[in-house]
Structure 1
Amino acid sequence: MTHTAPIPPDLYRVARLGWHVHPVRAGSRAACFRGAAGQATCHLDTIARWCARWPGCGWRVVCGPSGLFALDVDRPGTHAADGVAALAALVRRHGPLPPRPMTRTGGSGGAVLFFAHRGEALRGHAGHPAPGLDPHRGPQAVTIPPGTHPATGGAYTWRVPPWVVPPPPIPPWLAALLAPPAVPSRPVPRMDGERMRGTLMRALHAVCDAPRGMANTTLNARAYALGRWCGAGLLDPATARDMLLHAARLRNIPPAEARATIRSGLGAGLRNPRPGG
């Protein structure tokens, strides 16, 4: 028989909102079982079973499956940086934050602010976008009521519960500050005309000068080599194919055999492009 226990009212409300939660050991951030974050759920029957198995445990919400972005705002005390002052400075510079759910953390009395995450690319590293601010998204999790802080024993409470004020979209200025840095695009080297002609002519001579019985094998090898250039965007596949067909005619390779060999070699090369020029 499966035993269940009453779900704490605040936890029941967030689960009904679709927030995916999992239990942590009382006074700790350690999950009650291995892989708990990956099994976080909003299913009430499962949560009730967890409540029965670990009475008095704390709870964390996993951001990704809950559709949430959480901003942890540290207050000096148990933390070195003043996230409250940092966030206030950002708001003065960029504009106000919309009404949003917010907890009071059980440590220094800081806060966690909740927003709806709609797929924006966001950094999740502590100290962004300023010291004392810790963003959480994707598989990351934050503690919610009911629960206590592992260092101070202070209780987590709701300042603004999500069943009163739903999570709003992330303000555009905050999303912009948290956007991952752009990866500079590497310029694609272009094969100049002289280099292209040399590459094609080497393929032509290799096929024409191949030892007896090795013409088709050489054609395949040269098609693969040219295909790698094509895959890197340095050579036009049609140009490579035409040169290889010309080489095959000069070497008297049967047309159907040549076309099949060239198609196979070029295709394999295209799937394995050269890493650079």
Structure 2
Amino acid sequence: MTTLQAPTTGAAALACARRGWHVFPLRPGDKRPALRNDWEGRATTDPARIRRCWNHAPYNVGIACGPSGLVVVDLDMPKRRETPPPEWNMPGVNEGADVLAVLSERHGEPFPLDTFTVITRRGGTHLYFTPPPGAELRNTSGRHTTGVGWLIDTRACGGYVVAPGSFVDLPDGAGPYRIVNDVPPAPLPAWLARLLTAPRPAPSLGANSVAGTVADLPAYVQAALKGEAARVADAVTGGRNHALNKAAYNLGRLTGAGVLDHETAATVLFEAAAVHFGPTRADVTPAEARATIRSALAAGARNPRTITRGNLA
């Protein structure tokens, strides 16, 4: 497979670059970045750089959505034994495409089919769009309350997608990413743009056992908890552990300053990470999350944040 994959994915990377899309290497046969850090900043359209990189190894191809001027709507398939949440438990709703069809109908709009479209290795769909002028859309997760609907993820600034021409082989499914509608990306439908820019519920601040504690904290600390929980919950594949580590370090600095207790910080972070728990290498396990939270909170506590009176208002 390696011998056949190398020229195919290299050609796929160059094809993306010709469209003006910034690419970077993913691990061969995988969805995770091959770069250790700053994959978004290092993504490129330079053919010479791309040839050098893909001549080195049979990397899969990632498209950095932000620099590429893309918003990609990912209509996912349910994982094994996954059932819909109560609000989407209705006849005919079995996958992300069904959810988008319901949302389209509710808004009195057609299903947005006329755009660049890719079928993913598990039978899901990537719909490529261009963002509204001046908008800076971020990522959303369909398995979290900040998403637009069950099994609908969106990738924009700070996110990436696996490019067509890649082949992913993971325990939950193997297969290629294939173009099925090779047209220029259409502008993001206005009704979808409104959903993605409308205020949405803040991420959960942990289990019921800490809810009262959070409510009693200073406004500055509550805002920090909400922001770091959102960072973790909205992280994309390949950046989830990094996001959890950064969030735990930042909250650890508050525990070191004495304005946030360790148990509350750890519980909020674990609840935010739980949206990514799953059985595959692309997911996060509870044990991994606990280990990252424990070490990063401790590291942050060793570098406590200086808290001024204004912060605590």
> TM-score range with shorter-chain normalisation?
0.5 to 0.7
- Structure 1 residue 148, shift from structure 2 partner: 2.2
Deviations along 1:37-85, whole A, 9 cap, x unmatched?
3200011111101111112x21110011000001110123558352111
Contact 2:21 2:45 in 1 (8 A): yes
* Matched residue type, 1:173: W
Deviations along 1:10-61, whole A, 9 cap, x unmatched?
3322211110011111121222222233200011111101111112x21110
* Matched residue type, 2:102: A
Q: Which blocks of at least 5 consecutive residues in structure 1 are unaligned?
A: 184-273
Q: 2:52 aligns with which of 34, 49, 52?
A: 49
Contact 1:105 1:156 in 2 (8 A): yes
Q: 2:33 aligns with which of 26, 31, 34?
A: 31
Determine helix, strand or coil for the equivalent of 2:187.
Answer: coil
Determine helix, strand or coil for the equivalent of 1:146.
Answer: coil
TM-score (norm 1): 0.58
Instruction: Go from structure 1 to structure 2 and tell me whether the alpha carbon gap of 1:76 and 1:14 turns closer, same or farther (over 3 Å shift).
Output: same
What residue number does 2:124 align with? 110
The reply to whether residue 146 of structure 1 matches residue 165 of structure 2 is yes
Q: 1:65 aligns with which of 64, 67, 71?
A: 67
Q: How does 1:158-197 map to 2 (within 5 A)?
A: 158-161=179-182, 165-181=183-199
Contact 1:98 1:168 in 2 (8 A): no
Determine helix, strand or coil for the equivalent of 1:134.
Answer: strand
Instruction: Go from structure 1 to structure 2 and tell me whether the alpha carbon gap of 1:9 and 1:176 turns closer, same or farther (over 3 Å shift).
Output: same
Determine helix, strand or coil for the equivalent of 2:51.
Answer: helix
- Structure 1 residue 120, shift from structure 2 partner: 2.0
Deviations along 1:189-222, whole A, 9 cap, x unmatched?
xxxxxxxxxxxxxxxxxxxxxxxxxxxxxxxxxx
* Matched residue type, 1:148: F
Q: How does 1:59-138 map to 2 (within 5 A)?
A: 59-77=61-79, 80=82, 82-94=95-107, 95-96=109-110, 97=112, 99-107=114-122, 109-117=123-131, 118-127=133-142, 128-138=147-157
* Matched residue type, 1:67: G
Contact 1:122 1:180 in 2 (8 A): no
Distance 2:36 2:149 in 1: 32
* Matched residue type, 2:148: P
Q: How does 1:226-241 map to 2 (within 5 A)?
A: none
Larger-Rg structure: 1
What residue number does 1:249 align with? none
Instruction: Go from structure 1 to structure 2 and tell me whether the alpha carbon gap of 1:15 and 1:79 turns closer, same or farther (over 3 Å shift).
Output: farther
CA RMSD of aligned residues (A): 2.8
Deviations along 1:139-165, whole A, 9 cap, x unmatched?
21010122223331211111113xxx1
Deviations along 1:97-141, whole A, 9 cap, x unmatched?
25111111012x001110012332435220121010001110210
- Structure 1 residue 180, shift from structure 2 partner: 4.2
* Matched residue type, 1:58: N
Distance 1:37 1:48 in 2: 18
